[in-house]
């Protein structure tokens, strides 16, 4: 019999998320019913779209949806619950990372995510949480593909995309100088 996983106490905003196989799916995650589309837009040039509908079919947990990822970064929404962020914001990732592709989280959403997905904590010794009250935004654009079919990406300042060319894939948060960096496990023990 597979082990029964029990979920830690769940913030109300997470309990309201659509579920797959009984587990709440992070708001930013993509669902398998999307389509890879590239649209030409007046402000950002070519933009990758997805158009998936949360709650239908299977979730692609761990794969951010191109549409919701950019919305989260631009509108300062929490990647887990999708609601407006409050200060301080929490990024989970490599402790020394200068940038994050994962949107910021509420403190309580970060605590829940670290508890519900222990692999986040045991990914390596460098897993950290970065606490910030603001972040800058860069564009990650796919300029083309190499001989093996791997995308060639370039990071450029938000708004410069049309000049840089290629297709906008996601927005990247730039960690501010004032961000506080903690080992994830120690932060969880002190906060959770």
| Residues in touch with Zn ion (CB under 5 A) | 30, 34, 50, 52, 65, 78, 80-81, 106, 109
Which is closer to Zn ion, CB of 78 or CB of 131?
Answer: 78
Which lies closer to Zn ion via its Cβ, residue 25 or residue 156?
25
Helix (H, G, I), strand (E, B) or coil at 84: strand
Q: CA quadruple 20, 24, 30, 35: dihedral positive or negative? A: positive
For residue 44, the minimal CB distance to Zn ion (Å) is 18
User: Are 26 and 80 contacting, i.e. CB atoms less than 8 angstroms apart?
Assistant: yes
The least CB distance from residue 134 to Zn ion, in Å, is 17
Output the smallest distance, CB 140 to Zn ion, in A.
16
> In this structure, are residues 141 and 131 in contact, taking their beta carbons and an 8 Å threshold?
no
Smallest separation (angstroms) from Zn ion to the CB of 117: 15
CB 99 within 8 A of CB 172: yes
DSSP secondary structure letter of residue 149 = S
Name the residue nearer to Zn ion (CB basis): 36 or 177.
Answer: 36
């Amino acid at each position: 019999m597979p082990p029964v996983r029990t979920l830690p106490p769940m913030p109300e905003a997470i309990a309201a998320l659509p579920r797959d196989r009984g587990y709440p799916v992070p708001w930013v995650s993509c669902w398998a019913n999307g389509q890879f589309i590239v649209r030409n837009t007046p402000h950002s040039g070519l933009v990758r779209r997805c158009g998936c509908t949360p709650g239908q079919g299977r979730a692609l947990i761990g794969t951010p949806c191109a549409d919701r990822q950019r919305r989260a970064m631009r509108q300062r929404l929490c990647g887990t619950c999708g609601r407006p962020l409050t200060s301080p914001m929490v990024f989970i990732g490599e402790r020394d990372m200068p940038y994050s592709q994962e949107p910021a989280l509420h403190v309580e959403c970060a605590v829940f995510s670290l508890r519900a997905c222990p692999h986040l904590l045991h990914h390596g010794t460098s897993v950290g949480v970065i606490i910030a009250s603001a972040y800058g935004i860069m564009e990650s654009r796919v300029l083309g593909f190499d001989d093996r079919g791997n995308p060639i990406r370039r990071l450029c300042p938000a708004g410069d995309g049309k000049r840089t060319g290629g297709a906008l894939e996601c927005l990247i948060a730039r960690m501010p100088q004032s961000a506080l960096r903690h080992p994830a496990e120690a932060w969880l023990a002190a906060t959770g």
